Amino acid sequence: MKHTTASATLTLIFSLFLVACSREEPAAPPETGAAEQVADDELLQPAAPDATAADQPLELVEESSAEVAEVGGNQPILLAQAEPTAPRSEWKFKEGQHYVRMVPTQPTVGGADKIEVAEFFWYGCAHCFNFEPQINRWAETKPAGVRFVRIPATWNPLVMLHAQLYYTEEVLAKNGKIADPEGFRAAVFREYHQRGNRMTNEAAIQSVFAGQGVSVDDFTATWKSFEVAQKLRVAQDLARRYAISGVPAIVVNGKYRTGAGEAGGYPKLLELIDELVERETIR
């Protein structure tokens, strides 16, 4: 009886470890250092920051059998495909068990020239922190026909603030103000999970950027920019379309949604991503 009880306890602990940070769980982490999670009563959707730039808005790309149309709204486009290969006789992972197929296929961030793998994450999620080095290694060796994008969660005020942090970082990196985006993102994760800085307001976030050599003027102009505001709106729309309820979550080409819990752990999740990419390659 004692052996059975101990086995059941270990099984329960392992199952809990695989559960992603979800929007139903509390955002404030316990002092013991357990995984940070988000509560139901905090599911607020704050307004996007005021637009201050005149850049053109980002657009989502939808898949359809129709010909390419002028981009705007939810206009369909023809999805590009990689060079076909012979189909497998069997697939290791099963729809409905290891992943969900979204019907109809939803828009993606980038164009149809590549198969898109999107990771939804939150800087305050301990599971995302643990998954970060593994997804980074996968991204370094992904096929040439695959595009990897990160999309921050946006489901409550604190998470939204961190999403704004991520897109500010992304725009500054694109503009040459952050020389090492990977190192910067790792520093933000460490700030939250190892230094205990929850980055709960703009001033606390600005100090993180200052520590990485970003001037106050560059930070402020980007933080309040139209470009960042538009990226936040796209992230909110995609999270709704993909029905994202926890992070880290993976969406392949706007069609397949999965996570570590469904796949059976992070190594299996990376195998599943490769298999879903292969499915898209031969379809």
CATH of 2-24+35-282, one of 3.40.30.10, 3.30.70.360, 3.30.1180.20, 3.20.20.70: 3.40.30.10
Phi-psi region of 154 (alpha: psi -120 to 50; beta: other; left: phi over 0): alpha
Sort strands 146-152 and 76-78 into parallel, antiparallel or unpaired.
unpaired
Q: What is the pLDDT of residues 103-141, one digit of tens each?
A: 999 999 999 999 999 999 999 999 999 999 999 999 999
Q: Would you state the pLDDT for residue 20?
A: 63
Instruction: Examine the pLDDT at 248 and tell me if it is beyond 80.
Output: yes
* Least confident stretch, 16-25, 39-48, 59-68, 111-120: 39-48
The Cα–Cα gap between 240 and 260 comes to 20
User: What's the pLDDT at 26?
Assistant: 45
pLDDT at 275 over 60: yes
pLDDT band at 1 (very low <50, low <70, confident <90, very high): low
Work out the average pLDDT over 215-225: 98
Return the minimum-mean-pLDDT range out of 33-37, 129-133, 232-236.
Answer: 33-37
Domain coordinates in residue numbering, the chain? 2-24+35-282
Q: pLDDT band for 283, please (50, 70, 90 cuts).
A: confident
| β-pairing verdict for 246-247 and 249-252 | unpaired
Q: Which two tokens stand for residue 229?
A: 């505001």
Considering only residues 51 and 202, tell me which one the structure prediction assigns the higher pLDDT. Answer: 202
* pLDDT of 196 strictly over 90: yes
Q: What is the pLDDT of residue 22?
A: 79
pLDDT of residue 61: 55
CB 74 within 8 A of CB 258: no
* DSSP-derived secondary structure for 135-186: HHHHHHT--TTEEEEEEE--SSHHHHHHHHHHHHHHHHHHTTS-S-HHHHHH
With vertex at residue 188, the alpha carbon angle to CA 185 and CA 189, rounded to the nearest 5 degrees, is 90
Q: Are strands 249-252 and 115-121 parallel, antiparallel or unpaired?
A: antiparallel
Out of 7-11, 73-77, 234-238, pick the least confident.
Answer: 73-77
Joined together, the tokens standing for residue 96 give 């409905």
Is the Cβ–Cβ distance between 37 and 26 less than 8 Å?
yes
Mean pLDDT across 271-276: 98
Cis omega (within 30 of 0) on the bond before 87?
no
Evaluate if residue 36 carries a pLDDT over 70.
no
Is the alpha carbon torsion for 246, 193, 29, 11 positive or negative?
Answer: positive
Mean pLDDT lowest for which of 35-44, 237-246, 268-277? Answer: 35-44
Give me the count of residues in the chain. Answer: 283
Q: How would DSSP label each residue in the chain?
A: -HHHHHHHHHHHHHHHHHPPEETTS-SSPPTT-PPP---GGG---PPPPPP---PPPP--BEEESSPP---STT-EEEPP-PPP-PPPS--SS-BTTTBEE-SSPPPBSS-TTSEEEEEEE-TT-HHHHHHHHHHHHHHHT--TTEEEEEEE--SSHHHHHHHHHHHHHHHHHHTTS-S-HHHHHHHHHHHHHTS-----SHHHHHHHHHHTT--HHHHHHHHT-HHHHHHHHHHHHHHHHHT--EESEEEETTTEEE-HHHHTSHHHHHHHHHHHHHHHHH-
**What pLDDT digit, counting tens, does each position of 60-85 carry?**
655 443 333 343 444 444 444 545 55
Angle made by CA atoms 25, 159, 260, in degrees to the nearest 5: 55
Return the amino acid letter for 99: Y
Q: What is the pLDDT of residues 174-192, one digit of tens each?
A: 999 999 999 999 999 999 9
- The better pLDDT of the pair 152, 86 is held by 152
Mean pLDDT of 18-46: 45
